[in-house]
Structure 1
Amino acid sequence: MLQTLRGQARHQQPTATDPTSRWVGSIGLAVAVGISYFLAARLSLALLTKPDGVAVFWPAAGVSAGALIALGPGARLPVAVGAMVATIVANLLGDRTLLAAIIFALCNAGEALLTASLIERQFGSGFGLDRLRHVLGFLAAAIVATAVSGIGGTVGFKYFHGSTGPILTTWQHWFASDALGIVTVAPLLIGLASAARELPPRNEIIEGVMALVMLSVMSGLVIVLPREPWATVAPIALLFPLLLWLAARCRPAFAAAAAFIVALTIVWTTTFGIGYFGDPALSMADRVLGAQAGILATSLCAFVLAALFAERRQNEAALMEGEARLQEALTAGAVTAFEWDPRIGSSRRSGNAAQILGFDPQQPFTGTQFLARVHPDDRARFKALVHGVRPDSPSYTVTFRFIRLDGREVWLEETSRAEFDAAGHYIRFKGLTLDITERKRAQEHQDRLVAELDHRVKNVLARVAAVAMFTHEGSSSMDDFVQALNRRIQSMADAHALLSQSRWRGVRLTDLVHSQLAPYATNANMTIAGPDITLTAGATEAVAMVLQELVTNAVKHGALSTPDGRVSLSWDRPDGDAAAHLAMVWRELSGPPIVAPIQSGYGTNLIRDLIPHELGGKVGLVFASRGVCCRIEIPLERG
């Protein structure tokens, strides 16, 4: 049945584009509804009220109304046609005239259309009986639709069937039989359609089927109970626990099936004179009234219980989903929520607290234990803030260190608000604890960077000031001073640019050499060779200044001052050197004869003294007649 409803619903989807498929689906649906409607109608016509001839029960009304509600507006035409044809055929096989059968068919089809339209207008598509509001709306729609159709049915019985009963009585019989039919049968089809859209779990299906089988057996027992005083409470004692079981454990479709089974049993026994509702000692009116009351009470009980339990399950699922999302958000933000009662030391924390605070989630973690793990240097301040809250200042925010059970120290930021009793004593704290360890580390790293930057800026400014002063002392004119100062500051800027690119983690010596010699060196006048070695920040700055002075001296007075002059710069790390020294050799060739200066200037002093002073290295500068030679040794581990 689930697969049939699902298939019919697919055929009624408005997105279908094949006209042939739509027509085949519509015809199949009309035939299915017509056959079901006809069988239900024939059963109903076996028991008629006197003297108007209205059927006591009309479950066929539930077939058409339930199909329309379950399948939606796309099923209106085939369901209406199937219901009308089945009504006409069933009535003609009885004692009804053709005109009366047509009127009854129009009333029955209109009743189903009105019921479905009212529900769709109020609740939209995909209607289900999983909310109490939906159950009450369904009952209201059934009452309105059957009350309206009862007017047309009464006219048909009075003027086209020769009914001699009072008009109001005929309308009441029509209203009661159709309303009970909709209430008992339509929920079953609605529930099956809902289950087809979202199949219940296998365990739920098995449990529901078992309960329905037991209910069927109990219904049979209730019907054949002897007429004893205790038998009046037996139906409630036998059936209500099963209805409660189905409502509490299964979806509303199973409760609707239970109500249908009970209603079908009552209708069958009343129609064929079996059991309590077929007792010949009772008048037909009493038997019918008792049967209708039993059907209505059982159905309403089942639907209301199922809706209430379904709403509870939905609310529980929503709460669990909300709790899960909250836990995910707290975990993502490294935040834990807590509630702490300082009077007894108990505390409750969110599920991610164990991950942040490092305790065993299977073991209790009290407020006293939490305070004991606050860093000793922060504990007194933490307690002072907690004990300092009062009704006019109930909140506090504190940052402190916390020692986890694994010994790791983390930084936490806690914001809490206290609740007070009538006497003004705090009784409970609620708040959030945020893990700010990464923020603290980033802040400490930033502080170190700022301090390092401050140190470097001071060094640079001091070096620039010294360079400017000594350059001025060694300059013969203002133009010479400006040119020399600009050259030396540009050399320092180039070295800083390389350090900035590497985030001050060091510079490759090859890159530094090319940067400092670039304005003067070519492939024809410069030979550069050496392994790949990375200098530290301090070594980079010192070597850059020395290279700048060497190349400047070569351009002015040495090998690079003539077209045929050449410079060779090589470096290496000597094998077996446990101290890991870098050895560099600057050698000028084929230049003009060199005469050692009588008095060393600023550039010469910088070459000889800077590296030994700042790096602990050695510099050997020789002004040989055939060209300048400078040997430099730098301890790499101290750079």
Structure 2
Amino acid sequence: MHSPGRPVGCAAWVRAKETLRLNQLDRKEMNIDVRRLPLSHAALWVGLYIATGILSGQFNVATATRAPYVWLPAGVSLAAMLLSRSQSSTPLAFAFALVQSVLSHFGGRDIPSSLVLGTLAGLSPLVASAVVRWMQVPLEGLHLLRAVVVAALISAILLGGGGSLYFAMFKGTPFMLPFGEWSAAIFVGVCISAPLLAVWAQVRPKRSVRRNGPREMVGSIAFVTMVALTWWIFEGDTADWFDAAGATLPIYLPMFCVVIVATVGGARGGTLAVLVLTLICLGYTARGDGPFASQSASPALSLFQAQLYVGMSAMLVLIVHALHDGEAKAYAQAERWRTELELALAGSALVAYTVDPRTQVVQWRGDVERLIGHAAELLPTVEHILARVHPLDRERLRDHWNSPAPAGASAPASLKFRLATPLAPDTWVEFVDQGSSLSDGNGHTAFVAGVWQRQPVKAA
């Protein structure tokens, strides 16, 4: 609402109010309660768990310990509990336990082993999500990185350690080797699938979003290049040639492209790029192709190395997302402060200024043209301002700005002066300057700051 005396058509006032409204909407979007998202439906989560379980089964190889080397469902179950209401965690844990028991039994394990693995599959994400909630970290920026790493470690220890301990006690298998392999698969699986679901589950359509064509073009080119490079590097003949030549540098090129995609496209583009990289890398490695597959290494070791490769790519995306999100939040906060300052100045019929004592350059804030009568571009320096001040007031205003602030002063000094109107240079309008110089702490003037207020009575 406009207060009395404020012109309804004030462009700065309307623009500032609209910017503040958009900023408030952005804050609501950044602080949305992800536990109320529609993806919390149990049937959808169970379907994703089964799909990623079947997909992971296509990559795994048979070993003596029968520990999985690729297990993406660990991230699905964790994301389900983090993105759902806390009251839904226990029913989801039961659902995942039941589904995992069935998958394990179909995978060739006996009923007791299947029940144990199902119980661990439901318990580990339940404990991990409870710890993340207890830490009270939002699923965005640097907090997302911390939440994923903590949850991945807990899931890897509980699920990998629990399964290895059970088979060591009741099946006579070694403990440490399956524990390391199983825990690595769980950790990498969480780092790949949990961030992907977390960032894409929070997608909300925005109105009138300004598209950055060149930026999107760079992201698209980097994504296509990443896919082409990964396919070329992991293709059988190319991988054999690299292996014979002893070249390892090309395998880092897809990671470089993934970082570019994450920088340009944000967390959504980065996690999607990691998912595609994972499918290509693990698919070729499980088939016996690619730089990680060799005659001297076992299929299990090859998959383990490929897991570390895609896991490192996933961590790089999370780090880039954290840095990018921190920069975006700082920019948004600065923009909100600027908007609120503009609103405060417009509501008080004031304009604010700062003067650099070294360059004599003046920076204005507020609706300068409406309140002063001159555009801010016409008053860029102290000399340009003084040229429009009444001759009898020029030196007074100059001295006012050059004088150091009195020691112990509780408020800036006030000075009345007259300024020429743009259409009638011989007609003067009276203003009050309330400002003073600010010290840099070493006895020197850092800059001069203050506000101007127009007086209702014109000076003759």
Q: Please say whether Structure 1 and Structure 2 have the same fold, judged by a TM-score greater than 0.5.
A: yes
What does 1:12-51 align with in structure 2 at a 5 Å threshold? 26=42, 28-29=43-44, 31-44=46-59, 46-48=60-62, 50-51=63-64
SS of equivalent to 2:363: strand
CA offsets per residue over residues 540-565 of structure 1, 9 Å max, x none? Answer: xxxxxxxxxxxxxxxxxxxxxxxxxx
Q: TM-score, normalised by structure 2?
A: 0.79
Give the whole-Å Cα distance in 2 for the aligned partners of 1:214 and 1:67: 32
Identity %: 20
CA offsets per residue over residues 362-389 of structure 1, 9 Å max, x none? Answer: 4562110111211223224333434443
- Which residue in 2 is equivalent to 1:134? 144
- Which residue in 2 is equivalent to 1:370? 385
What does 1:378-417 align with in structure 2 at a 5 Å threshold? 378-389=393-404, 396-407=413-424, 409-417=428-436
SS of equivalent to 2:434: strand
Q: 1:53 aligns with which of 60, 66, 71?
A: 66
Report the Cα offset of residue 31 of structure 1.
4.6
SS of equivalent to 2:181: helix
Report the RMSD for the aligned CA atoms in angstroms.
3.4
- Which residue in 2 is equivalent to 1:173? 181
CA offsets per residue over residues 3-23 of structure 1, 9 Å max, x none? Answer: xxx9994485xxxxxxxxxxx
Report the Cα offset of residue 37 of structure 1.
4.5
Q: 1:190 aligns with which of 184, 198, 217?
A: 198
What does 1:449-598 align with in structure 2 at a 5 Å threshold? none
SS of equivalent to 1:376: coil
Give the whole-Å Cα distance in 2 for the aligned partners of 1:199 and 1:111: 40
Q: 1:84 aligns with which of 92, 97, 118?
A: 97
Report the Cα offset of residue 230 of structure 1.
7.8
SS of equivalent to 1:280: coil
Give the whole-Å Cα distance in 2 for the aligned partners of 1:8 and 1:122: 19
- Which residue in 1 is equivalent to 2:437? 418
Residue 233 of structure 1 aligns with an amino acid whose one-letter code is L
What does 1:601-620 align with in structure 2 at a 5 Å threshold? none
Give the whole-Å Cα distance in 1 for the aligned partners of 2:323 and 2:188: 22
Give the whole-Å Cα distance in 2 for the aligned partners of 1:68 and 1:423: 55
Q: Unaligned regions of 5+ residues in structure 1, if any?
A: 1-5, 13-24, 445-639
Q: Unaligned regions of 5+ residues in structure 2, if any?
A: 1-33
Q: Label 1:369 to 1:202 Cα distance change in 2 as closer, same or farther (>3 A).
A: closer
SS of equivalent to 2:202: helix
Give the whole-Å Cα distance in 2 for the aligned partners of 1:66 and 1:134: 11
Report the Cα offset of residue 284 of structure 1.
4.0
Give the whole-Å Cα distance in 2 for the aligned partners of 1:246 and 1:75: 34
Give the whole-Å Cα distance in 2 for the aligned partners of 1:343 and 1:87: 71
The answer to whether the 8 Å contact 1:340/1:428 transfers is no
Q: Label 1:202 to 1:402 Cα distance change in 2 as closer, same or farther (>3 A).
A: closer
- Which residue in 2 is equivalent to 1:435? 453
The answer to whether the 8 Å contact 2:145/2:319 transfers is yes
The answer to whether the 8 Å contact 2:438/2:447 transfers is yes
Give the whole-Å Cα distance in 1 for the aligned partners of 2:271 and 2:158: 25
More strand as a share of residues: 1
Q: Say if 2:234 is the partner of 1:215.
A: no
Report the Cα offset of residue 403 of structure 1.
1.4
Report the Cα offset of residue 276 of structure 1.
1.4
Give the whole-Å Cα distance in 2 for the aligned partners of 1:179 and 1:373: 69
- Which residue in 2 is equivalent to 1:550? none
The answer to whether the 8 Å contact 1:147/1:175 transfers is yes
The answer to whether the 8 Å contact 2:35/2:84 transfers is no
Report the Cα offset of residue 273 of structure 1.
1.1
Residue 122 of structure 1 aligns with an amino acid whose one-letter code is M
Q: Say if 2:284 is the partner of 1:269.
A: yes
SS of equivalent to 2:278: helix
Report the Cα offset of residue 299 of structure 1.
0.8
Q: Label 1:255 to 1:67 Cα distance change in 2 as closer, same or farther (>3 A).
A: same
CA offsets per residue over residues 461-514 of structure 1, 9 Å max, x none? Answer: xxxxxxxxxxxxxxxxxxxxxxxxxxxxxxxxxxxxxxxxxxxxxxxxxxxxxx
Q: 1:143 aligns with which of 140, 145, 153?
A: 153
Q: Label 1:428 to 1:402 Cα distance change in 2 as closer, same or farther (>3 A).
A: farther
Q: 1:236 aligns with which of 252, 268, 278?
A: 252
Report the Cα offset of residue 302 of structure 1.
0.8
Give the whole-Å Cα distance in 2 for the aligned partners of 1:423 and 1:29: 64
Give the whole-Å Cα distance in 2 for the aligned partners of 1:406 and 1:152: 84
The answer to whether the 8 Å contact 1:412/1:433 transfers is no
Q: 2:367 aligns with which of 345, 352, 364?
A: 352
Give the whole-Å Cα distance in 2 for the aligned partners of 1:38 and 1:175: 16
Q: TM-score, normalised by structure 1?
A: 0.58
Between the two proteins, the alignment pairs up a number of residues equal to 414
Give the whole-Å Cα distance in 2 for the aligned partners of 1:297 and 1:153: 25
Give the whole-Å Cα distance in 1 for the aligned partners of 2:301 and 2:53: 27
CA offsets per residue over residues 182-204 of structure 1, 9 Å max, x none? Answer: 11111111111111587995848
Q: Label 1:111 to 1:203 Cα distance change in 2 as closer, same or farther (>3 A).
A: farther
Give the whole-Å Cα distance in 1 for the aligned partners of 2:123 and 2:212: 37
